[in-house]
Chain A
Amino acid sequence: MRPNFKRVFLPLLFVCAFLRLSASLTYPEEPGQRVKYEFMIEMPKAYVSGILVMALTEPDLISASLVNEFGFSLIDFTFDEKRQKVKLVSVTKKLDKWYIRRTLRSDLKQVLAMMKQGSDAYTDKKHKINYTFRLLNDSAE
């Protein structure tokens, strides 16, 4: 008995397309696409956690905001994928020091590169900073 194409392969095709779509949502690749992560940045003496929201706002330009769980803004930044350059748009006063900005610019570039490859963690070995991310299930919205 030959399998009915419409009944067997078509649903399979939909499942595959859905899985591909879900998999691609770890990094915004299309203009307007948004991705949300829970994040934790662990430093030797403290840690910061919250939500990372990022979107492809222009071709080759990722815009992202890191906010803590209470909704307080920590960092707003953009990443120019063509020039491989991170620009810090605003940084909360507590983190707004030149040496922190320098580390953030360099680490965020690495974090985004690692996310694009499907990884969810990055360690800045020089400064002993661990960045971990977990996709946020945003179905509550």
Chain B
Amino acid sequence: MKRILIHILICALSAIASFAQTDSERAIKEISEAAASVKTMQCGFEQTKTLKMLGDKLVSKGLMICSQPDKLRWEYLSPYAYTFILNGSKVTILKGERTDVIDVNTNKMFREIARIMMDSVLGKCLTDKKNFKVTVSSEGNSYVATLIPQKKTLRQMFGKIVLHFDRSLAMVTTVELFENNGDNTSIRLFDIKKNEPVDETQF
């Protein structure tokens, strides 16, 4: 009797596991296909940084434009002005009267920032098995993908990254970055325009 019960339990558990795996794989496929279909994207964003030590929040707002495969403009408009422009291997930073041009191949930190920003908002990180361990769950009309960084450089920055993918929009709408010191940053994307012509001079 005991043996039968154990067998039934094992069968039930493996059935649940295989169902969860299939479900997760289906979600990853759906998000990846949506990411592949995005050639350009423009939206507004609201970034909320939660400071654990101070129990405070820092809210900033701005605009984002990206053009596949490697052009991104991430512009903060309030409460401070700061623009990060990625064009191929070149990053241009505009802050006040300063303009700095950095080669991402020689600056690991900027390479990671550029990659995280672009791959997260497009949902491309999900198929990046070399850099992330991914689990996906379903919440109403959204998929919630939790990415655990595998590479040392990324692990030093984040404990995990959570992407909220809106199935009806077929877009990532919120990116949450959890840091090792207990702080986290949530970036909510809104007024998303997909595959509309973008002003190339912005890059």
Interface residues of A (CB under 8 A from B): 34, 36, 38, 40, 47, 49, 51, 53-55, 57, 63-65, 67, 69-73, 76, 89-90, 92-94, 136-141
Which of chain B's residues have a CB closer than 8 A to the CB of A90? 181
A140 and B54 contacting across the interface, CB-CB below 8 Å? no
Collect the chain A residues with CB atoms within 8 Å of residue B140's CB: none
Query: Which of B80, B156, B185 is A51 in contact with, Cβ under 8 Å?
Result: B80
Number of A-B contacts (CB under 8 A): 81
| In the complex, residue of chain A having the shortest beta-carbon distance to the beta carbon of B53 | A76
Report whether A140 and B51 are in contact in the complex, using a CB–CB cutoff of 8 Å: no
Min CB gap B100→A, angstroms? 8
Q: Say whether B95 faces chain A, with CB atoms less than 8 Å apart.
A: yes
**Residue in B58, B79, B157 whose beta carbon sits within 8 Å of that of A139 in the complex:** B79
Assess whether B185 is in contact with A140, with CB atoms less than 8 Å apart.
no
How far is B82's CA from A65's CA once the two chains are assembled, in angstroms?
19
Q: Which residues of B contact A (CB under 8 A)?
A: 47, 49, 51, 53-54, 56-61, 76, 78-80, 82, 84, 95, 100, 109, 113, 117, 156-157, 177, 179, 181, 183, 185
Q: Is the CB of A140 within 8 A of B79?
A: yes
Considering the chains assembled together, what is the distance between the CA atoms of A138 and B109 in angstroms?
27
The B contact surface, by secondary structure, is strand
Minimum distance in angstroms from B159 CB to a CB of chain A: 12
Q: Looking at the complex, which one of B56, B95, B177, B179 makes contact with A53 (CB distance below 8 Å)?
A: B56
The chain A residue sitting closest to B177, CB to CB, is A71
In chain A, what residue has the closest Cβ to B183?
A73
In the complex, 16 of the A-B residue pairs with CB atoms within 8 angstroms, ordered by the A residue number, are: A49-B82, A53-B56, A63-B54, A65-B183, A67-B51, A67-B183, A69-B60, A69-B82, A71-B58, A71-B183, A72-B177, A93-B157, A94-B109, A94-B156, A137-B79, A140-B79
